Structure 1
Amino acid sequence: MRDKMMELKNATLEALEKLADQKDLQDLKVRILGKKGELTAILRNMGQLSAEERPLIGQIANEVRELLEEQISKKASEIVQKEQEKQLAKENIDVTLPGRPVITGSQHPLTLVAKEIEDIFLGLGYEVAEGPEVEKDYYNFEALNLPKNHPARDMQDSFYITEEFLMRTHTSPVQVRTMERMKSEVPVKIICPGRVYRRDDDDATHSHVFMQAEGLVIDKHIRMSDLKGTLLTFARQMFGEHQQIRLRPSFFPFTEPSAEVDVSCIICEGKGCRVCKQTGWLEILGSGMVHPKVLEMSGYDPEIYSGFAFGMGIERIAMLKYGIEDIRQFYMNDTRFLRQFQKKA
């Protein structure tokens, strides 16, 4: 039995020298030292030995097992090291090659324009106000002089969630909520930027989801001339100091009188071109004096207080400012388009 164990030990050590694969090494370990391995098979014959031989053979068996386990473990480490060296040699890096540039992100063009609009009005003493995008019908329509079944609601085809709630069609509800919160305090001077939703055509100039920025001023003795002066200041800071504006009569249920506001064409400087359709003007926003009913419903006495409001599409301003012809470019996440607005370090 002793001779068999010695033969097994020598044969195993010889086999270990030739192995170079982890799987083959594991197979050898199971075959020699496993529960059904060759060493175990030899030790099953221990019962045939005399009482004097058993301790001696048992000691030899333990020494053989420990030796083989040690050599197998050592061989496993050698194989792992060689595999790592081989992999490292394959993945060798030439440190003299130029590194790959790290592409950093930047703010979206709509975010840049929205912040610029905010900064202009913050400089005029306004505060930024925000409100929920899922809005009550009351704040979105009724408190803005648009009762149920009012025909002007068709101007803003809406996404209703329930009969009472809908995705807001403009940021004007923020104005109403602010007036309610102020509880007849004056002055109110806010700018309300945010995302709005309408069932609109999906084409080069329209989108189901877009951004607006609306402004509201309420105080005593607010006049139409204050509105015009404010919007002229905005136009010159946004598009250039030589810009002019004009107000055209219009209709909005929540303002009276109401006006569409045009800015002199930033391409041809008012001379007439393809962009402005030879008129010399580009429409940028809607505006007007706050309707007395809107003031009254929000707790302000229209005999004492007056105000003006205006609203602009941020995409519209961005398209004019940067000369972009298709509104869908803002939402396609094309990095070639977005990279143009990245500020240089």
Structure 2
Amino acid sequence: MSNGIPELKQFDEASLDAAFSQVRADAERSAAEPNLDREQFRLDWLGRKQGRLKAISDAWLKAAPVEAKKLIGQRFNELKQQVEALVDESAATAVKVEVRSLDISLPGSAHRPGAEHPLTKTMNELVSVFERMGYSVGIGPEVETDFLNFESLNFPPNHPARDTQDTLVLADQEQKPLRERLLMRTHTSPVQIRTMLAQDPPLRIVIPGKVHRNEAQDATHSPMFHQVEGLCVDTNITFSDLKGTLDHAMKSLFGSSMKTRFFPSFFPFTEPSADVQISCPFCNGKGCRKCKHSGWIELLGCGMVDPNVFKAVDARRIELGLEPKYDPAKISGFAFGMGIDRMTMMKYSVSEIGLLFSGDTRFLSQFA
């Protein structure tokens, strides 16, 4: 006997049955041991290099005469199936033992319900308001050229208004012409230019997205934040259309009792421009800490699209081989933009903007 395998001297059916029965009994006896190591049992019998079935194949099949190989092969296949069944049975028994030993008094792993991030929720609510008014949704890259981010929007080189949008410029851009230098977009307005280059008027588009500015982090400022901007271009668009659109949007978002008022302002890409205030939704205009006891909260900026923007778009369309369609003598339009982070903070009484980006589940679970 070698490695627990009896020497096979006779190759008649009776001798083969006796030899295979002995090996089968050894396997069953090993599988029944109380402290069975399942993996070791599998390797002992089914291992490719040193398993007992491999040894039986080498010792019996190779040494058998030709007329006996078929008989041995049939019995060998049956033995292999029986050993594999013993391995599977030992594994199933071990699982049952493990289940029986489970301490059900331990707290389980609960699957907590998910929820939209408050920023996402506010953005989706605002975008859906404009979608119901017939606006489509536009998106664009966060890395833009100076032309799309500034020059086409009436920010000529060295214009002081560029200082109000302290910009994060990509490295190694000095060798390029200024208009081709890459930067992190400071507003989602470049998507307005991209849309006008790709589509003929009329158009109505709302643009949600992430923007970047070189600002110090504090309770209400972050170098990365979110905006929603809008653009409407058609014939005979007036400031009254702009006021009616924004008033309807604010009432849809905050309730029908919401009031809006407009104050003159300045933006390079609109003329005339205005800041928009809404009556404080927390005190209904009576005055409280959140509105600094004024009854009003400044929420967004807007204005009529400056003719220089339309001229820049048409000039670029001509460069691209497209027909100019944005003649300011024939069309007009309005644009607006607002910070979603500030609106979210106001809506959910969040005091620190950093909480919106922290990923702290203790904070986010409040919105689940």
TM-score by length of 1: 0.75
User: 1:253-311: per-residue Cα shift (whole Å, max 9, x none)?
Assistant: 11122222111111122222221222222121111222221222223333443322110
| 8 Å Cα contact 2:187/2:211 also seen in 1 | yes
Q: Does 1:253 align with 2:268?
A: yes
Indicate which of 335, 338, 344 corresponds to 1:309.
335
**Correspondence 1:177 to 2:185:** no
Give the deviation of 1:64 after TM superposition.
11
> In structure 2, what residue type is equivalent to 1:151?
P
User: What displacement does 1:30 show?
Assistant: 8.8
Select the residue among 349, 363, 366 that pairs with 1:323: 349
Structure 1 residue 206, shift from structure 2 partner: 2.1
What is aligned with 1:149? 158
Give 1:1-345 correspondences, 5 Å limit. Answer: 19-20=30-31, 21=36, 22=41, 29=52, 74=82, 77-78=85-86, 80-92=88-100, 102-161=111-170, 162=173, 163=176, 164=180, 165-183=182-200, 185=201, 187-299=202-314, 300-342=326-368
Following superposition, the deviation at residue 4 of structure 1 comes to 8.4
Tell me the CA shift for residue 99 of structure 1: 9.2
* Aligned residue type for 2:141: P
- Pairwise CA RMSD: 4.1
Contact 1:216/1:307 (8 A) holds in 2: yes
Q: Do the aligned partners of 2:215 and 2:222 also contact (CA within 8 Å) in 1?
A: yes
Given residue 90 of structure 2, which amino acid in structure 1 is its aligned partner? K
| Secondary structure of 1:112's aligned partner | helix
Name the structure 2 match of 1:51: none
Closer, same or farther in 2 for the Cα pair 1:75/1:129, shift >3 Å? closer
Shift of 1:11: 9.7
Aligned length: 321
Higher alpha-carbon Rg? 1
Deviations 1:114-154 (A, max 9, x none): 22222212222323233332222111100111011212112
Which amino acid counterpart does residue 308 of structure 2 have in structure 1? K
The structural deviation recorded for 1:210 is 2.0
Task: Please give the per-residue CA displacement for 1:98-118, whole angstroms capped at 9, x wherever unaligned.
Answer: 997654433333222222222
Q: What is the percentage of aligned positions where both structures have the same residue?
A: 43
Shift of 1:91: 1.4
CA distance in 2, matches of 1:17, 1:193: 69
Deviation per residue, 1:51-85 (Å, 9 max, x gap):
xxxx9xx999x999998997797567436523431
- Checking the alignment, whether the CA contact within 8 Å between 1:13 and 1:68 is kept in structure 2 is no
The aligned amino acid for 1:168 is: R
Moved more, 13-22 or 192-201: 13-22
Structure 1 window deviating more from structure 2 (71-80 vs 197-206): it is 71-80
Q: 2:14 maps to which residue?
A: none
In 1, Cα distance between equivalents of 2:135 and 2:336: 13
Q: Kindly state the Cα deviation for residue 160 of structure 1 after the two structures are TM-superposed.
A: 2.1
Indicate conservation of the 8 Å contact 1:133/1:196, yes or no: yes
Letter in 2 for 1:19: S
SS, match of residue 290 in structure 2: coil
Measured in 2, the distance between the counterparts of 1:209 and 1:141 equals 18
Q: Supply the AA of the counterpart residue of 1:181.
A: A
Superposed displacement of residue 327, structure 1: 2.2
Relative distance call for 1:31 and 1:252 in structure 2 (3 A) is closer
Distance 1:28 1:173 in 2: 70
Q: Contact 2:301/2:336 (CA < 8 Å) preserved in 1? A: yes
Q: Name the stretch that deviates more: 166-175 or 106-115.
A: 106-115
CA distance in 1, matches of 2:199, 2:22: 94
SS at match of 1:298: helix
Q: Which runs of 5+ in 2 are unaligned?
A: 10-18, 315-325
Query: Matches of 2:332 and 2:75 in 1, distance apart?
Result: 99
Alpha-carbon offset, residue 214 of structure 1: 0.8
CA distance in 2, matches of 1:173, 1:298: 11
State whether residues 28 and 86 of structure 2, in contact with CA within 8 Å, keep that contact through their aligned partners in structure 1.
Answer: no
Q: What TM-score comes out, normalization by structure 2 length?
A: 0.71
